[in-house]
């Protein structure tokens, strides 16, 4: 018998594809510069590396700082405050913090 795959997207592709129409991402999405205080939405992109957990798909957070080429994002989910390190290819600009 063959062994089941334990790759990066193993058992995740069904959840990622549900209600998600694949879209072509240009190079611009990976080189966009965000500033501290910008509001961004987490949108999993085509790149499987450093992809955030599917439970954070569509959540809106605030950029707190820049770490290397990625950004530290602060999310408020119910009463908990979470911080995620997400590369810019998985982010979508929403607007400035009011």
Per-domain residue ranges of the chain: 13-96
Query: What's the pLDDT at 54?
Result: 80
Q: Which CATH number fits domain 13-96: 2.40.30.30, 2.30.40.10, 2.30.30.70, 3.40.50.800?
A: 2.30.30.70
What pTM value is reported for the model? 0.74
Longest CA–CA span in the chain (Å) reads 58
Average pLDDT of every residue of the chain: 82
Query: What's the pLDDT at 35?
Result: 93
Laid out side by side, the sheet with 70-77 consists of: 80-86, 70-77, 60-67, 38-42, 91-96
- Secondary structure class of 92 (helix, strand, coil): strand
Those residues whose C-beta lies under 8 Å from the C-beta of residue 86, and which sit 6 or more positions away, are 42, 50, 52, 70, 71, 73
pLDDT tens-digit map of 28-46: 766 788 999 999 999 887 6
Q: Which residue has the tokens 């058992």?
A: 11
């Amino acid at each position: 018998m063959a062994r089941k795959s334990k790759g990066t997207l193993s058992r995740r592709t069904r959840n990622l594809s549900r209600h998600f129409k694949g879209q072509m991402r240009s190079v611009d999405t990976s080189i966009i510069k965000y500033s501290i205080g910008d509001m961004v939405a987490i949108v999993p992109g085509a790149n499987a590396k450093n992809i955030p957990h599917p439970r954070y798909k569509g959540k809106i957070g605030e950029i707190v700082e820049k770490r290397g080429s990625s950004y530290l994002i602060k999310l408020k989910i119910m009463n908990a405050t979470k911080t995620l390190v997400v590369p810019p290819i998985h982010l979508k600009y929403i607007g400035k913090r009011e």
